[in-house]
Amino acid sequence: MNTLRLWSARAGHPIVLEDFNRGDHVGALADRVRLEAISRVLYPSDETPAGHELRLRQEIFFASASLQDLLRRHKAQHGELSSLPDHVAIQLNDTHPAIAVAELMRLLVDEHGMPWDFAWRITSSVFSYTNHTLLPEALEKWAVPLMEGLLPRHMQIIFQINATHLNALRAAGHDDPALIASLSLVEEDHTRHVRMGNLAFLGSRRVNGVSALHTQLMKKTVFRDFNEVYPDRIVNKTNGITFRRWLFQANPGLTNLIAEAIGPGFLDDTDRLSALAPLADDPGFRSRFAAVRRSNKVLLARLIAERTGTSVDPETLFDVQIKRIHEYKRQLLNLLETIALYEEMRAHPARD
């Protein structure tokens, strides 16, 4: 059992009644609206400066709230924070919560009085970082001027982490300027940026991709230089639920059919599914398999009708997407392809 905590931003002061009574309704409510917007809509569009800043405010708000609650509960249970790595694991899901590395250092050093080196050992022992995609947009970068204006203490901490990191690299003989620039937490261009992917990598005990292929590509592309310096840090953890559990919970009809044909052992041992291969040409099994599929389509059609009022024919081809659709996700491409195939079939009904 896991505990789910939901954080909500609330203004800590009432509206200014004097402004409200003077007719300045917008001014009286502006600060309250700005503060409560932090948790009103997650991940706003960051194409404007205001949206960009709000996104950063959200990231530090949720990361800090979670970390402060975590430290409070750990101290209540264990009395001190030096044992944090023995009891706590914090997973960074992409770079959105990567500011948590700097925030935990701030909490340990500023709020709990820990020496810097000891706090860094704890921080880099409790975090792990999962990279979900190699695309640049998944590796956030924040302009240094924005960070200095909104989170000045965190920017100081990131600069100190980076200085210690780069000095250690040079002391170990890594003095190639291109390598140092690649491994720096701060990208030095016309507008300096903090590389949140680099911060997440450096502050984590382990870094993983979401499949074996993804993990290997990480080592060869976006974190190639980090992998050369820290060769044991990147590991593979396959993402998602096992297909056997999905089959058992989502498709009992097919589960029962397979169990009748080859026995239930496949639910514990994937390799036993190979026993189905000889049945691929068995007319009786294929007929029962088709019946299970049609039964599932009838159930889905009934559910669609109940929830949407739309009637679909179970005899037609179903293309089912069980996933949220987001503008930058590949699921949208699948939906577009489905529409394109449908239009192609309508335009050329005689084709196979």
Mean pLDDT, residues 56-67 taken together = 96
Amino acid at 180: I
Q: How far apart are CA 151 and CA 145, in angstroms?
A: 10
Q: In this prediction, what percent of the chain has a pLDDT beyond 90?
A: 66
Taking alpha carbons only, the member of 216, 211, 230 closest to residue 132 is 211
Q: In this prediction, what percent of the chain has a pLDDT beyond 70?
A: 90
Specify the 3-state DSSP secondary structure of 142.
strand
Residue with tokens 């917008």: 26
Q: pTM of the predicted model, to two decimals?
A: 0.75
Contact 112, 122 (CB under 8 A): no
Q: Where would I find the beta strands (DSSP E) of 150-210?
A: 186-187, 193-195, 206-209
For the cut 70, the answer to whether the pLDDT of residue 179 exceeds it is yes
Taking alpha carbons only, the member of 82, 124, 78, 133 closest to residue 100 is 124
pLDDT at 157: 98
pLDDT tens digits, 135-158 = 876 789 999 999 999 999 999 999
Amino acid at 217: L
**Residue 129: strand pairing partners:** 92, 207
Amino acid at 258: I
pLDDT tens digits, 6-35 = 999 987 766 666 665 666 555 657 777 778
pLDDT at 329: 62
3-state helix, strand, coil in the chain (%, to 5): 60, 5, 30
Q: How far apart are CA 176 and CA 173, in angstroms?
A: 9
Alpha-carbon distance values, 225 to 41, 47, 219, 222 (Å): 37, 30, 8, 8
pLDDT tens digits, 222-267 = 999 999 999 999 999 877 677 788 889 999 999 999 999 999 999 9
Work out the angle at residue 137's Cα, subtended by the Cα atoms of residues 132 and 142, and round it to the nearest 5 degrees: 115
Averaged confidence pLDDT in the chain: 89
Amino acid at 51: G
pLDDT at 197: 96
Q: How far apart are CA 241 and CA 348, in angstroms?
A: 39
Alpha-carbon distance values, 208 to 119, 134, 221, 223, 236 (Å): 23, 12, 14, 11, 5
